[in-house]
Chains A and B, each alone.
Chain A
Amino acid sequence: MAKVTIPFGPQHPALKEPERFDLTILGERIVRLNARLGYNHRGIEKACEQRSYISALYLIERICGICSHSHATAFVQCVEEIAGLEVPARARYIRTLIAELERMHSHLLWLGVAGHEIGFDTLLMYTWRDREVVMDLLAALTGNRVNYGINTIGGVRRDVSPEQCAEILRGIDTLEERTKYYMQLATEDAMLAERLVAVGSLCTEDAARLGAVGPVARASNLNQDVRRDDPYAAYGELDFKVITDTHCDVYGRVLVRVGELMESCRIICQVLSNLPEGPIAVKAPRKIPAGEALTRYEAPRGEDVHYVRGNGTERPERVKVRAPTLANVQAVSKMLENNYLADMPIVLAAIDPCFSCTDRAVVVREAGCVEQRMDWKALRLYGIEWYRKNRGIDCSKIKLRM
């Protein structure tokens, strides 16, 4: 059988976002993988530079639909560091609370997606049903199921009432019980083990060399977690374990994430019992002084890095985001070496990819190269001409409302 190259994407049922992976296969075996990012670039970094810090915060929150709180917190931490703001303890605890609820919602969502990728839709339906418990809690606390909008520069926007604390504890009880069931399922189900063990292997050295982060790194037995290594928010005052695993494969990544679900339950209980009294925010100036800051944040998918540079105006001069998927996507081609085509969806899903967070545009300028720019009108004319010539369709009559 000859080698064939399959276009896995940009449109493919296993991908929730457009991204392209050219898979070369020999029979059912994968020979090589060529990842091409860039189908989902939205120019958020640039757009932030044209907004005030507070509007940029709401844009930053929309980088990711799942770990929106992670990006927002990382960004405000940068701005607070530049402005020298002391965030009240209660605000730090509330940020931690939302962060852990978000981690639970993200990991439950991932578990379902992983089930779907190996054709185990029952797991998808079960985990997504349980995920509703977290979503309801988040909606009750912040008013939104996603993009919580809880952060503001200098603290948080909403307080947590004692009734809400009791409600969260009830929800966490349910989730802890369900998570125990998933742990049992992951460790005892023979069919799952059959599809997950020794699939997408990434040894410890490779994980370190390729710069894997988050659950992917921890499943390859790299003991790293920003929450412990470089504590932010209230993590320095809490007691929690960093879950690692020695399987170094997709199975290990499942165990790490389910273990982290259990750990998140513990963290939330600690946050609620130690919630300090006091204000939830300090007033932040409109103009942030000149300076720069870089923060690391342990998002559900791994280490999220934000960099902000201020120039003394009300707008940031530069915002830079390194989402965890960018660090992990490099490892996918290593993981897929010698695997089957059938393993491609689950191996890719096992890094919990979020492509729209990751995508960026890089322009390589060679010396002497003339830069070409097209304005909107010219681009439209080009499109009309292209379709007339190549497809025989005349689109020039279409009227645009601008």
Chain B
Amino acid sequence: MGYALFNILVFPGLLFLSLFGMLAEFADRKIYARLQNRVGPPWYQPEADFIKLLAKEEIVPADADRAVFRFLPVVALTAVVCSSIYIPLWSRSALYSFEGDVIVVLYLLTLPTLTFFLAGWYSNSLFAALGAVRALTQLFAYEVPLFMGILAPAIVASSWSLSGVAQFYGAHPAYWIFNLPGFVVCLVALQGKLERLPFDIPDAETEIVGGTFTEYSGRLLAFFRMTIDVELVVGSALLAAVFFPFGLGLPPVAGFILFLGKVLFIVTLLAVFRTVMARMRIDQMVEFCWKYLSTAALFQVLISLAVKGVILG
């Protein structure tokens, strides 16, 4: 019991993930800045921002539902932290696993977006409501390709558990090559999930001010921002576990360093992705996801079925 609590609260749970999330945010911001010919923030900037927000006054709009408004950031953070315990981070098995946990992880990673929607909706503000509707519209666009992309490697592995997938690819190391189209699809969908450029439509500041978070301030906003940081790490770790399943048998320290490297590599890709893009309009985003991204995801599923039928057959 004590050990489980340590896992959930300290390592690799809440404390580790928040610190790693902030490190990832720093890496993201620094790369973004360097690519834009700027100096970029110092390494402690995310921590400083977080502490500053904690100290700020917390304003709840008079018309908002007070309890829901204050409760939502906690739900969002809890959901993303929970999802991490089913993801194999640096060994072949996650902390806890069961057949079907990949669905649970995807579900838990959808919860933050739903809380963003509710947060915007319960703020009872025009800009927040617009952002909320956009967040939900966007969710339906990227979620299907993301699910198909993540599940395709699981089809090959014949296991709907992330640890099972890791074990399969540990035994058949070369197979990850077949999943590369799915990796690209999931990278784009993850960018949408994290609401980053070019998919930062729900909080496009030049259009709808702060979007879903317009009315949030102080501690509550700090927790939402930390949720996004942790989601960045957990999302990248999920992609790393599914698409880069090599080196999982290494000794703990080397494996841990490899894990950090993999996640930071994916964060780098995401940062470059947002540097070279302009924001899409919501109609363009939905069209792009259904027309091209879903097609590419289906293509990946076909490849997986072919691999399973022909090679493993």
B242 at the interface (CB under 8 A from A): no
A211 at the interface (CB under 8 A from B): no
Complexed CA–CA distance, A298 and B40 (Å):
39
Q: How far is the CB of A274 from chain B (nearest CB, A)?
A: 36
Q: Taking A6-B126, A342-B207, A344-B207 as contacts, is the C-beta distance between A119 and B279 under 8 angstroms? A: yes
Q: How far is the CB of A340 from chain B (nearest CB, A)?
A: 5
Interface bits B199-218 vs A (CB < 8 Å: 1, else 0) = 01100111111000000000
Q: Taking A14-B206, A14-B207 as contacts, is the C-beta distance between A125 and B36 under 8 angstroms? A: yes
Determine which of B126, B197, B208 lies in contact with A119 in the assembled complex, contact meaning CB atoms within 8 Å: B197
**Segment of A41-49, A102-110, A189-197, A301-309 in the binding face:** A189-197
Contact B206 A126 (CB under 8 A): no
Complexed CA–CA distance, A90 and B5 (Å):
81
Contact B37 A340 (CB under 8 A): no
B306 at the interface (CB under 8 A from A): no
A343 at the interface (CB under 8 A from B): yes
Complexed CA–CA distance, A327 and B282 (Å):
32
Name the residue on A nearest B35 (C-beta): A122
Contacts of A122 in B (CB 8 A): 35-36, 275-276
Q: Taking A119-B278, A126-B36, A342-B281 as contacts, is the C-beta distance between A13 and B209 under 8 angstroms? A: yes
B280 at the interface (CB under 8 A from A): yes
A100 at the interface (CB under 8 A from B): no
Interface bits A167-196 vs B (CB < 8 Å: 1, else 0) = 000000000000000000000000110110
Name the residue on B nearest A129 (C-beta): B37
A51 at the interface (CB under 8 A from B): no
Contact B283 A28 (CB under 8 A): yes
Contact A194 B37 (CB under 8 A): no
Q: How many B residues are at the interface, by size bracket?
A: 20 to 34
Name the residue on B nearest A126 (C-beta): B37
Across the A-B interface, how many residue pairs have beta carbons closer than 8 Å?
Answer: 71
A86 at the interface (CB under 8 A from B): no
Contact A191 B277 (CB under 8 A): yes
Complexed CA–CA distance, A95 and B134 (Å):
50
Contacts of B38 in A (CB 8 A): 125
Contact A342 B204 (CB under 8 A): yes
A352 at the interface (CB under 8 A from B): no
Q: How far is the CB of B153 from chain A (nearest CB, A)?
A: 30
Contacts of B280 in A (CB 8 A): 194-195
Q: How far is the CB of B12 from chain A (nearest CB, A)?
A: 33
Interface bits B264-284 vs A (CB < 8 Å: 1, else 0) = 000000000001111111111
Contact B279 A120 (CB under 8 A): yes
Q: How far is the CB of B117 from chain A (nearest CB, A)?
A: 16
Contacts of A345 in B (CB 8 A): 206-207
Contact A120 B281 (CB under 8 A): no
Contacts of B279 in A (CB 8 A): 118-120, 195, 342
Complexed CA–CA distance, A325 and B216 (Å):
35
Name the residue on B nearest A15 (C-beta): B206
B198 at the interface (CB under 8 A from A): yes
Complexed CA–CA distance, A344 and B127 (Å):
14
- For chain A, residues 118 to 142, give those with C-beta under 8 angstroms from any C-beta of chain B: 118-123, 125-126, 129
Contacts of B37 in A (CB 8 A): 125-126, 129
Q: Taking A4-B126, A28-B282 as contacts, is the C-beta distance between A119 and B36 under 8 angstroms? A: no
Q: Taking A191-B198, A194-B284 as contacts, is the C-beta distance between A121 and B207 under 8 angstroms? A: no
Name the residue on B nearest A340 (C-beta): B281
Contact A118 B209 (CB under 8 A): no
Q: How far is the CB of B154 from chain A (nearest CB, A)?
A: 33
Q: How far is the CB of A239 from chain B (nearest CB, A)?
A: 35
Contacts of A117 in B (CB 8 A): 206
Q: How far is the CB of A349 from chain B (nearest CB, A)?
A: 9
Complexed CA–CA distance, A129 and B36 (Å):
10
Q: How far is the CB of B281 from chain A (nearest CB, A)?
A: 4
Q: How far is the CB of B6 from chain A (nearest CB, A)?
A: 41
Q: Taking A14-B207, A119-B204 as contacts, is the C-beta distance between A342 and B276 under 8 angstroms? A: no
Name the residue on B nearest A8 (C-beta): B207
- For chain A, residues 334 to 355, give those with C-beta under 8 angstroms from any C-beta of chain B: 340-345
Q: How far is the CB of A346 from chain B (nearest CB, A)?
A: 8
Contact B277 A13 (CB under 8 A): no
Q: Taking A28-B282, A125-B37, A345-B207 as contacts, is the C-beta distance between A119 and B200 under 8 angstroms? A: yes
Determine which of A6, A7, A14, A120 lies in contact with B278 in the assembled complex, contact meaning CB atoms within 8 Å: A120
Q: How far is the CB of B174 from chain A (nearest CB, A)?
A: 35
Name the residue on A nearest B210 (C-beta): A13
A116 at the interface (CB under 8 A from B): yes
Contacts of B206 in A (CB 8 A): 13-14, 116-119, 345
A12 at the interface (CB under 8 A from B): yes
Name the residue on B nearest A123 (C-beta): B278
Contact A121 B281 (CB under 8 A): no
Complexed CA–CA distance, A340 and B283 (Å):
9
Contacts of A120 in B (CB 8 A): 277-279
Contact B282 A12 (CB under 8 A): no
Contacts of B126 in A (CB 8 A): 4, 6-7
Complexed CA–CA distance, A118 and B204 (Å):
9
Q: How far is the CB of A132 from chain B (nearest CB, A)?
A: 11
Q: How far is the CB of B112 from chain A (nearest CB, A)?
A: 21
Contacts of B281 in A (CB 8 A): 28, 195, 340, 342-343
Name the residue on A nearest B285 (C-beta): A342
A259 at the interface (CB under 8 A from B): no
- For chain B, residues 210 to 252, give those with C-beta under 8 angstroms from any C-beta of chain A: none
Contact A118 B205 (CB under 8 A): no
Interface bits B170-209 vs A (CB < 8 Å: 1, else 0) = 0000000000000000000000000001101100111111
**B126, B204, B282, B284 interface centre (most CB from chain A within 10 Å):** B204
Contact A192 B282 (CB under 8 A): no
Complexed CA–CA distance, A123 and B276 (Å):
9
Contacts of B283 in A (CB 8 A): 28, 340
Q: How far is the CB of A47 from chain B (nearest CB, A)?
A: 33
A115 at the interface (CB under 8 A from B): yes
Contact A342 B35 (CB under 8 A): no
| 20 A–B contacts, CB within 8 A, in A order | A6-B126, A6-B127, A13-B205, A13-B206, A13-B209, A28-B281, A115-B278, A118-B278, A119-B279, A123-B278, A125-B37, A126-B36, A126-B37, A194-B284, A195-B279, A340-B281, A342-B201, A343-B281, A344-B207, A345-B206
7 additional A-B pairs beyond A122-B36, A342-B204, A342-B281, beta carbons within 8 Å, are A119-B279, A125-B37, A191-B198, A192-B278, A195-B279, A341-B207, A342-B282
| B-to-A contact residues, CB < 8 Å | 35-38, 126-127, 130, 197-198, 200-201, 204-209, 275-284
